[in-house]
Amino acid sequence: MDPLGARSQFVEVQNLHTWDQPELMEEGEEKGEGPKSDEVDNLSYQINSLLSPFPFREDINRKIILFKGDVALLNCTAIVNTSNETLTDKNPISDSIHRHAGPELRDELLKLKGCRTGEAKMTEGFNLAARFIIHTVGPKYKAKYRTAAESSLYSCYRNVMQLAKEHTMVSVGFCVISTTKRGYPLEDATHIAFRTVRRFLENHGESIEAVVFAVSDAEEVVYKKLLPLYYPRSKDEERASLPLLPADIGNSEGEPVVPERQIRITEKPGSVEDDSEDESLELGLGLVGNHAFARMEGDVDKQRKQILQGHLSEAAQQKQHQRNYNRWLCRARAEDLSDIAALKALYQTGVDMCGRTVMVVVGRNIPVTLIDMEKALLYFIHVMDHITVKEYVMVYFHTLTGEHNHLDTDFLKKLYDIVDIKFKKNLRAFYFVHPTFRSKVSAWFFTTFSVSGIKEKVHHIENLQQLFACILPEQIDIPPFVLEYDARMNGPYYTSHSSGL
């Protein structure tokens, strides 16, 4: 109740019905039964022997809430605002959030300097019941760029959930991120939303107690239709929903499977054994018992010996490398890397002059002697895997690093050898900011004798003005100590530019 006795307009999440409760089932449908359809029943009988990729999980269903109403009114730890790249979009959801949050929200958004498509940034909730607002930008949909749009929309949902986990949030209220003006087909977008949230709850959602999908009347119809596919409320509903799932259900994280990621190089094309092995890799750690590595197919030591002796074909070497990388990636997705994430030594920022994603590494934030460097390697793979499917650049701030911040060349060589080929192919530039004479010499030796193919991509940047010739100031979040150091050494510039860290 509000102070004057008037009923609060805000909605308490704990009072809403969760997806496993009968109130959300269709009229005439009993709990534990799936949708009634002769066609679906016939199909389900034919595939009863198959395992659903989204099995009945009552514990997950208890976390899912479908709410017909305004997301701005939800009393969640955080609600989601869908906006544009400048965070100034005029749409019904965003307008309602601004109206209820108050004018402070608009002032706070100015400090964020926008948000790239697929990214998520957080502010306070101000006058909302929600403590936080997570702002994200859905993609503009064009059929010929469907793959890119799918990946970006997946990133929206995934990044929101990741922020929720990192800040130990109990509940998150989602709006429909793909707004009408951005043209994303509602049903296609809903498939991505449901499977991404489902996979996150399976893999990383221990601390999250409620995920609310806030919808309008028209959206509710689609959401109720598709929810049983990803959150079946019984074994019967699981079987009935299986034939209705789309062909592309994403990987083990719900991420769309991009063709260039599916490196399927075989020595014997058409081999049934090879096909099943690649499929098991795609499924990740969930089916470890079926994985080729678990079955010990092939002698790994023998293969390594053959590689050293030059007897293993190039195709076989690439396939072996891909297997190894997939194992590292699966480990990275399974482990708790929050302690490494808290260092803020690696993060995504804006785009360069050519529109390529910019990734930042802050050398001084890497306490090499104090952290588990294998976990650091896993974190790098986890963060970078989806970034490197397209062209990107990296900015490394060597500013004010000490001996305890310097990455060992053996570690860098190991990292280079492990990462997928797309990491190297799609890296367009590596900007080494504020290098010392010693670091220049080390970089030359490393790129000349230890690794190949990136020497011409490394650019030493003496001051930030040089960096801004490649990346606009508003497109990169620079740590305050870097700004202060550069101003002290090279004179003041763009003093209004501040860090997003």
Sheet containing 120-124: which strands, arranged edge to edge? 64-68, 210-215, 171-174, 78-83, 132-137, 120-124
CATH 3.40.220.10 domain locations along the chain: 63-216
Write out the DSSP string of 75-107. ESSEEEEEE-TTS----HHHHHHHHHH-THHHH
Give the pLDDT of residue 358.
94
Give the pLDDT of residue 21.
80
CATH 3.40.525.10 domain locations along the chain: 338-490
Q: What is the DSSP letter of 454?
A: -
Residue range 63-216, CATH number? 3.40.220.10
Fold of 338-490: Phosphatidylinositol Transfer Protein Sec14p (3.40.525)
Q: What is the mean pLDDT of residues 126-136?
A: 96
Q: What is the mean pLDDT of residues 271-288?
A: 39
Give the pLDDT of residue 411.
84
Please determine, for residue 381, whether its predicted confidence score (pLDDT) is greater than 70. yes
**CA atoms lying within 13 Å on the CB side of residue 463:** 11
Q: pLDDT grade, residue 409 (50/70/90)?
A: confident
CB within 8 Å of 412: residues ≥ 6 apart: 446, 450, 451
Q: pLDDT grade, residue 3 (50/70/90)?
A: very low
Cβ atoms 433, 398 nearer than 8 A: yes
CB neighbours (10 Å) of residue 29?
16
For the whole model, what pTM was predicted? 0.52
Q: Which of 117-131, 203-217, 253-267, 397-411 has the lowest average pLDDT?
A: 253-267
Position 299, amino acid: D
Residue 20: C-alpha distances to residues 63, 64, 93, 261, 380 (Å): 9, 8, 27, 36, 37
Digit-coded pLDDT (tens) for 386-400: 899 899 999 999 999
Question: What backbone phi and psi angles, to 5 degrees, belong to 49?
Answer: -80, -10
Please determine, for residue 107, whether its predicted confidence score (pLDDT) is greater than 90. yes
Please determine, for residue 439, whether its predicted confidence score (pLDDT) is greater than 70. yes
Give the pLDDT of residue 308.
52
Strands 392-397, 64-68: pairing kind: unpaired
Digit-coded pLDDT (tens) for 29-60: 444 444 444 444 444 444 444 578 999 999 99
CB neighbours (10 Å) of residue 203?
16
Q: Which of 71-80, 109-118, 194-203, 277-286 has the lowest average pLDDT?
A: 277-286
Give the pLDDT of residue 224.
96
Q: What is the mean pLDDT of residues 201-212?
A: 94
Give the pLDDT of residue 305.
56
Give the pLDDT of residue 333.
83
Q: Which of 61-75, 100-114, 116-130, 275-289 has the lowest average pLDDT?
A: 275-289
